[in-house]
Amino acid sequence: MKILVCISHVPDTTSKINFTDGDTKFDSSGVQFVINPNDEFGLTRAMWFKEKQGADVTVVNVGGPETEPTLRKALAIGADNAIRVNTEAKDGYQVAKQLANVVKEGGYDLVIAGRESIDYNGGMVPGMLAGLIDANFVTNCISLEVDGTKATAMREIDGGKETVSTSLPLVIGGQKGLVEESDLRIPNMRGIMMARKKPLEVKEPIDAGTETASVKFEKPAAKGAVKLIDPDNVEELVNLLHNEAKVI
C-alpha cells in the first residue's frame, strides 16, 4: 500500500503573531514553524501501517524551501520519502490542485491529510483533493483500519460518532483520535541522521489558479482589565456583576 501524507508547515501555537503592510501580510520573522498537529496524527497512523502492513509512506508539502525542515522532521519520524511542490501555498483550491497532481503521478492508494491546518483553518483541502482525484473521502476521522482494498473508518459527527466502510483509493481528513497524543513520535538521533539520506524531491508546480485571497488580517481584541474580589466578599461580587458587568 502506498500512502501519501500531506504536511502543512504552520506556526507553533506559542508564537507571537504579527502582520505587515497595513495588516495585509503575515510576518513570519521570528516565528517557529512545526508540523500541523492534525497532520502529525495522520503521519503517526501512517507509521503504524508501515510497521504492521509494510506500507510505503511519502510526505508532501506545498511551499518554498523554508518548509523543508518540517519535511525533514517527518522523514526523521519514519516516512520513506518526501516531496516539496515548489510554490507558495496561496489558497485551498491551489494547494489541492498541486496535491492532486502528485497523487495522480505517484499512484497512491491512501492519502492522509489533517482535517484542517491550524493557521488558516480552512478545512477545504482534503475534500477538494478527493474530488479532483475521484477518490472516496472521510473527514473528522478518528479511527482507520485498512484490509486489502477495503477500509473501515470512524468519524465524529454532530452528537456522536459514525463508522463507515469504504474502499481505496481513499482520502481522509484526520484529527486527534486517529492516534492519541501519547502515541505521537519524537524523532530520535538515529532517525534524524537517517532523514538526511532519505530522498526529498522538489517538484515544479502545475498551472493552478487561486479562487480566494486574504484581503486583511485583524488580531483579536486585547483582553480587558481584571478585577480581583476577595473570595469572602460575596456581596461586592454580586454588586459588580449586577451594576458594572450587567450580567445578572
Burial string for 9-27 (b: 16+ CB within 10 Å, else e) reads bbbeeeeeeeeeeeeeebe
Yes or no: say if 13 and 36 are a contact pair by the CB < 8 Å rule: no
Tell me the per-residue pLDDT of 178-225, one tens digit each, with 9 for 90 and over.
Answer: 999 999 999 999 999 999 999 999 999 999 989 988 899 998 888 888
Q: Give the pLDDT band (50/70/90) at residue 120.
A: confident
Beta bridge partner(s), residue 109? none
Alpha carbon 220 to chain centroid, angstroms: 23
Yes or no: say if 142 and 156 are a contact pair by the CB < 8 Å rule: yes
pLDDT at 172 over 90: yes
* Average pLDDT score over residue span 228-248: 89
72: domain range? Answer: 2-217
Alpha carbon 208 to chain centroid, angstroms: 21
Beta bridge partner(s), residue 10? 34
Tell me the per-residue pLDDT of 127-171, one tens digit each, with 9 for 90 and over.
Answer: 999 999 999 999 999 999 999 999 999 999 999 999 999 999 999
pTM, two decimal places: 0.87
Assigned domain for 210 exists: yes
Assigned domain for 233 exists: no
Assigned domain for 141 exists: yes
In Å, how far are 61, 78, 95, 110, 177 from 210, measured between CA atoms? 17, 33, 9, 26, 32
Q: What is the CATH number of the domain that holds 193?
A: 3.40.50.620
pLDDT at 248 over 90: no
Q: How many domains does the chain have?
A: 1
Assigned domain for 36 exists: yes
